[in-house]
Amino acid sequence: MNEIVNEHLFWRKDFHPEDDPVISLANQNEKGFRETQETTTNVLRKLCAKLKLTSMPWHSPRYLGHMNADILMSATLGYIAAMLYNPNNCAYEASTATTPMELEVGKDFARLMGFDTDIAWGHICTDGTVANMEALWYARNLSSIPFAVKKVRPKLVEGMSDWELSNMKIADILDLVDKVQDVWDEVRDSSVRGTGVNQAQLGKWIVPETKHLSWVKAVDVLGLGLDNEINIQVDKHFRMDIKILEQTIEDLAAKKIPILGVVGVIGSTEEGAIDHFDKIIALRKKFEEKGVSFYVHADAAYGGYARSIFLDEDNNFMPYNSLKVQLHKLNIINQDELDWPSQDVYNAFEAVSQADSVTIDPHKMGYVPYAAGGIAIRDKRMVDAISFFAAYIFEKGTDVPSLLGSYILEGSKAGATAAGVWAAHHVLPLNITGYGRLIGASIEGAQRLYDLVQSVEHFEINGTKMRFESLIKPDFNMVDFAFNIEGNKDLEKMNRLNLDLYNLSSYVSGPVYKDDFITSHTKLDYEDYKDAPLELVKRLGIPKEEWDKVHSLRVMRACVLTPYFMNDKVTENYWQKYVESMKGKLEELVPKFI
């Protein structure tokens, strides 16, 4: 860090060193200058005190809260180095160093997802919310192009009904775009962007119940309306129920209601579940034979980087059995004790390469500083459907680096983010030997934590037995669990117990040094999950009738992003400390519930 700062100081001094200092020694001796220095010092000391008092100790294995962990040194220093130069990656003239880095990272995203980097494209967003919104922006605008072409060049779609125009494949829409480049501005003005297209012609946006909140925001902001988002129930593994998805598409098609797109989640933010993305892709192929097609997006904001585990050093997606051998051989996941990935998880990650677009967040499993989201699209021709031009940022017709601001939802954004991600990718390659090793360690840690929870029959708290159960075997690196008093059949009482337990280790108020361990928590409601939580409710001793009455379950949520639990000794050491911590808190709480 010292070297980085010194380099920056020399950079400032070396630009026309013949110039006299703007701030002279006399200026520095003025009263106002000295007072400002003193005020700044005092404010920064107060700031540091506030940060130390309540900031999360995400660097410690004791932190199992939000999707956050210690960040890579390369990413941190890369971010700091670029931050000093204050580049703005919206305007190329303000980011001549970091815009090319962002475009290189975009290619990394595309390669990681299995896209052809000669035709794919990607870039960094502020976060997954913006990336998801951008994906829906692509889907919405592209789906309206056939109707716009019908207005401007009707012969190109002659004989096609509105239903057929609503169900054109994305590749066919892009081929259509190639044929109208001479009147492209007129076509776009006749699309949903300009004179508009009837919403009924665009159709429904389908997401699983485990969707991130960003999808609700996206359909609202982009004017599609909340009524046009359909939520699909999850199965007992908290993955989108494919049978219900298929039936939903069948029902919509029978009513001649188009499907704008389907989202599969690769790592849900509450359970870490991996949807059957391969089956979503298979469904699209099946329905395309019936004349029904739709956009497919992979929301891999959380789990996207984990695809590196499946790639060899030549970026080939490894066969299932070969992968298992390599994970064991490289000591990434001990297959003698842990069975990961399952065939379902493997198939889902493999099929991501068939998505039209993918959200991926470097600030989650990329272990880089906030704010760093990202998106990759299969075909860079898609950007024409959303691009804008502003003369002060770029000139129309110039090279891509100058056009970055035209192809994104955001305006000004930190080039330091691109530098941080770029540095991380150059230190840790996006394959099994790089990020795969790091993320594999976190997955093994989560699998170990799950097994340890499952190994506990009960806790004894001053003569009272406590049940302790996990929600599901994790697809990824998140473990949800809950406690109940043996014999208690009151679900609301159990929920209060788990909420109070969470509050005793809550990180919403400081100082955090009093907390032995920090976990998150979440609420699984019937409105979102239907009966998926029922199995855990029963294992905790609560009857179905009680679930039918309350329809809500509170669970503790442990995001195991730390890579340090893969060591048996370390895991056992922290597990014993965690058990002792929970027992201490339960000793305080249980008497209130008996």
**DSSP track, 160-186:** --HHHHHT--HHHHHHHHHTTGGGHHH
Q: What is the pLDDT of residue 508?
A: 58
Asked if the model's pLDDT at residue 514 lies above 80, the reply is: no
User: What is the reported pLDDT for 92?
Assistant: 81
Q: Where are the domains of the chain?
A: 1-54, 101-312+342-429, 456-592
What is the amino acid identity at position 208?
A: P
Mean pLDDT across the stretch 282-309?
98
Residue with tokens 């699998």: 447
In this prediction, residue 337 has a pLDDT band, given cuts at 50, 70 and 90, of low
Is the per-residue pLDDT at 392 higher than 50?
Answer: no
Q: How far apart are CA 562 and CA 195, in angstroms?
A: 51
pLDDT digits (tens, 9 = 90+) for 280-293: 999 999 999 999 99
Say if residue 161's pLDDT is above 60. yes
Phi, psi (rounded to 5 degrees) for 123: -160, 170
User: Residue 207's closest CA among 295, 305, 140?
Assistant: 295
Residue 399: per-residue pLDDT? 52
Name the residue among 579, 295, 353 with its Cα closest to residue 455: 579
Mean pLDDT of 337-346: 90
The token pair at 466 is 């406590």
Q: Are 258 and 297 in contact (CB under 8 A)?
A: no
pLDDT at 199: 67
In contact, 424 and 368? CB cutoff 8 Å = yes
d(CA 355, CA 115): 9
Cα–Cα distance measured from residue 469 to residue 406, given in angstroms and rounded to the nearest whole number = 50
The maximal CA–CA distance of the chain, rounded, in angstroms, is 83
**Per-residue model confidence (pLDDT) at position 391:** 42
Averaged pLDDT, 320-325: 94
According to the model, what pLDDT value does residue 195 have?
Answer: 73
Q: Is 502 a catalytic residue?
A: no
The SS3 of residue 357 is: strand
Residue showing tokens 């190994």: 455
Tens digits of residue pLDDT in 215-250: 999 999 988 889 999 999 999 999 999 999 999 999
Distance CA 122, CA 127 (A): 14
Give me the mean pLDDT over the 138-163 stretch: 95
Ramachandran bin of 522, using left for φ above 0, alpha for ψ from -120 to 50, beta for the remaining angles: beta
Residues 560 and 562: their CA atoms lie apart, in Å, by 5
Cα distance between residue 457 and residue 446, in whole Å? 19
What is the C-alpha to C-alpha distance for residues 216 and 212, in angstroms, rounded to an integer? 8
- Average pLDDT over the chain, rounded to an integer: 92
Q: Which of 110-119, 294-303, 382-391, 415-424 has the lowest mean pLDDT?
A: 382-391
C-alpha to C-alpha distance for 364 and 302, rounded to whole angstroms: 6
Using alpha carbons, select from 218, 207, 201, 200 the residue that is nearest to residue 145. 201
Question: In angstroms, rounded to a whole number, what is the distance separating the alpha carbons of residues 157 and 146?
Answer: 8
473-484 per-position pLDDT tens digit: 999 999 999 999
Helix (H, G, I), strand (E, B) or coil at 523: strand
Class of domain 101-312+342-429: alpha beta
Q: What SS3 class is residue 122?
A: strand
What's this model's pTM, rounded to 2 decimal places? Answer: 0.94
Q: Out of 367, 370, 392, 529, which one is annotated catalytic?
A: 392
pLDDT (0 to 100) of residue 203: 93
- pLDDT tens-digit map of 270-280: 999 999 999 99
Residue 513 confidence (pLDDT): 74
pLDDT of residue 175: 97
pLDDT digit string, tens, across residues 64-119? 888 889 999 999 999 999 999 999 988 888 899 999 999 999 999 999 999 999 99
Partners of residue 414 on adjacent β-strands: 88
Which residue carries 């089956």 as its tokens?
Answer: 279
Mean of pLDDT values over 186-195: 89
Task: Give the pLDDT of residue 389.
Answer: 67
Please state, in angstroms and rounded to a whole number, the distance separating the CA atoms of residues 405 and 373: 16
Confidence label for 394 from pLDDT (cuts 50, 70 and 90): very low
Q: How far is CA 551 from CA 525, 530, 535, 537, 538, in A?
A: 6, 8, 13, 10, 13
Q: Does residue 393 have a pLDDT over 60?
A: no
Structural contact between residues 143 and 202, judged by C-beta atoms closer than 8 angstroms: yes
What is the C-alpha to C-alpha distance for residues 591 and 588, in angstroms, rounded to an integer? Answer: 7
Q: What is the pLDDT of residues 442-460, one digit of tens each?
A: 999 999 999 999 999 888 9
